[in-house]
Structure formats: C-alpha cells, structure tokens
Amino acid sequence: MKNSPNAQRRRYSRLYAYSKRYIPYRTLQKIGLEDITEDKILNSFIPYGFSIVSSLLILYLTYSTNFFPEETSFYTLYLILILLSASIGGINSALLSTAIISVGAFFMISDANSLIQFIFFIIGASVISFVVDGIRQTNTINRLKKQEKIYAQSFVKLQNDYAKAKEEIKSRDEFLSIISHELRTPLTTMLLKLHNLLNTVHNVPLANFSVPELMKALQGSEQQIKRLTVMINDLLDISLITTGRMELKLEKADLVEITKRVLENFSEVLKKEKFQIKFEAKSPISGRFDKMRMEQAITNLLSNAIKYGRGKPINIQISDNKKIIKLTIEDQGVGIPTQDQKLIFGLFKRTDSTNEHSNGLGVGLYIASQIVKAHGGKINLSSKPLKGSTFTLELPLNAPYH
C-alpha cells in the first residue's frame, strides 16, 4: 500500500538523503544546526518569534501613532513587553526584545531628556530581564528537583521491587525443591513396597504368603497416598489464592460446631499421640462463614500446634463480643523466634525452627491466613522460643462478601 509505514519510511529516507546532498550541511554544522528537528525549530521559534514579532509590532504602533518614547506610558508598555519576553523565553528572548526596541527607539530621540529616559529604559529593561530570568530558572530548578525526587522514589521502588522479586524467586526455588523432595519420598516408599510385594507374589508359594504383611504394606501405601492428597490440595489452594479465584460461600454458621468437627477429625491422631486438648466455648457463636474454608483454616492451625507442640497440652478457646469473634489456639511447643514471626504467614516461607520439626510443604499457615483475610479477619501470633505459640484468629461477626 502507498501509505503503509514502510512506504512512508522509505519516502522520508529518500527525502533525508536528498536534503543532505543538496543543502549545505557543512554550513549548518558550523552554526550548530546539523541535528535540527521540528521540535527544536518550534522550541526556538516560540520565544524568539514572539520577541521579534511583538517588538516590531509595538515599534510600528509607535511610529504610526506618533506616540513617541518621551511619553512615559509607552516606555511602560515596552517594559511590559520585555517582562513577557523574559517570562516566555528567558534572558536571551528578553535581551532580543530590548535590543530591537532600543534600536527603533534610538531614532526617535529628540532631546537630552529623551536620551536620559532612553538610558533608564535600557537599564530597567536589563534589570527586569535578569530578575525575571532568575525567577524563571529558580522555578525550573524547583520543578526539576521535584521530578528528581519523583524519579528517586520510583528508582527506590523499582529497586525494592527487584529485591523482593529476587527474594520471591529464591523462595520459590526453595519451595520447588521442598515439593520435589516431599512428593518423591512417599512415591519412592510406595514403589519399593509394591515392588517387594510383587516379588513375593511371584516367588513365594501361596501357602507361605503373609496376609498381615500385605495389609501392613497396603495401609502404609494408603497413608502415603493421603499425605500426597493433602499436599496436592495445598498446591491447588495456593493456586486459587494467588490468582484471586478463591470464592467464599458465606452462610450463617456456628464457629464452635466447626471447631468441634475439626477436633473429631483429629481424634485418632490425638489419641495416638496422647495429646490433651482443653476446649472452652459456649455454643452457639455464630457468624457468616464459608464452612469448608473455615474448617480448613482451623485444621491448619491445629495441625501446626500438634506438629510443634512437643506432646504438651493444647488450649482452644472461642469467645465473642458485639463486633468480633476470637478463636485462640495455644500450644506449649518449640515456639517461634521474634525475627521469624512476620515471615511465618508468608508464601514459600519456612523458618529454621519449623524446618527442624516438620515435613510437608510448610504452607498451612499461609493458606489459613488468606482464608481468614478473605473473611475480613486476621490472625495474630504471640510466641517465644521453647515456650509455645498462641495463634488468635479474629473474625467480624458479619463477614463481608468477597
């Protein structure tokens, strides 16, 4: 097409080559105009063009009306013009206007009094030019300082974002390393057990086949599959949270009943590990919750207390007032150092104290905090190393829809 961008570029290229060949570029280079552009022409024409045109116009009016410079009002008009020139184009534009007006007014001097007024006009015009240009430069400097401050803030923000991105990438890589290890371990264990069972089936006579051994292997595989299922569900929850696709199905529900259901799910673990749970609450304590998600959040918090509780008693308490519902889970376990308490709810974050005592992906507290946040609430943490941790879940009585 004739008007395509490529055709226009070729046309401008030919025009540029033609102009460079026939226009005396050496002369332009000598006066510093070899790189002249349309923007530079406009930026130069506006201040200097205004000075030239306005100065010549006011001189023409002076001649045509015979209103000569000895009239004070006309000198005042000249000074106003120079003030405008200095404001628009700076010192050079103002001095250009002063020079043009001075040359024109010089030929209209008729006596010594006019000459004195003419000299005072030049002095006054020069003073005005320098003063206004100084103010103009000060304003320009202040504007540039503001821009510099904005650029500095933007640079600092970009630098912080870059550092944050590097930290997140490092955390992500560590998290992926943990995932690969945690997923590979149960799979490897199951494969070894199944391989041994297959060898037994193939090589051992049916009369010598051990049913209890088979049951033990199958039960172990079942536990590993459950563990893998929990990890996969955690990864899916993280995906929903980070992409903003986790939707709540809010309905009126009793938080005490939800917590009791969680405790029932842990009953076998609590019995096996001989954990003592002290639960204090007066039902009902109702609010608007997504039952499934809230059960998941409490499950993660309780699982954390069991995992790091060193087998000591765990206290759970639920209370409410006119505005909020509080659920407190207190353990007497390993605790969390102060410097790590801000990190514990972060995605892909694992502290040194938790790494020593845990397996799994280490994202339970992050998921719990995001679920509570989606309900319009928050989780507070109070902890000291080797003295346990207290997680306090605060929820509004009327959770907002998300």
pLDDT of 32 reads 54
Contact by Cβ (8 Å): 331, 312: yes
Alpha-carbon distances, residue 368 vs 201, 332, 345 (angstroms): 45, 20, 8
pTM, two decimal places: 0.53
pLDDT of 70 reads 54
- pLDDT tens-digit profile of 272-313? 878 889 999 987 899 999 998 999 999 999 988 988 888 899
Going by C-alpha positions, the residue among 299, 295, 350 that lies closest to residue 179 is: 350
- Mean pLDDT across the stretch 202-230? 74
179-193, 225-239, 369-383: segment of lowest average pLDDT = 179-193
pLDDT of 298 reads 94
- Mean pLDDT across the stretch 39-59? 73
CA distance 375 to 294: 9
How many Cα atoms occupy the beta-carbon half-sphere of 91 within 13 Å? 8
Higher-pLDDT residue of 194 and 357 is: 194
Higher-pLDDT residue of 352 and 150 is: 150
Of the pLDDT bands very low, low, confident and very high (cuts 50, 70, 90), residue 88 is confident
pLDDT of 364 reads 84
- Mean pLDDT across the stretch 311-334? 92
Of the pLDDT bands very low, low, confident and very high (cuts 50, 70, 90), residue 263 is very high
Domains of the chain, CATH where assigned: 5-153 (no CATH), 166-242 (1.10.287.130), 251-396 (3.30.565.10)
pLDDT of 297 reads 93
- pLDDT tens-digit profile of 131-181? 888 888 888 888 888 888 899 899 999 999 999 888 878 777 776 776 676
pLDDT of 401 reads 46
Give yes or no for residue 190 having a pLDDT over 60. Answer: yes
Q: What angle do CA 12, 14, 18 make, to 5 degrees?
A: 115
Q: Is 293 helix (H, G, I), strand (E, B) or coil?
A: helix
pLDDT of 381 reads 93
CA distance 183 to 322: 46
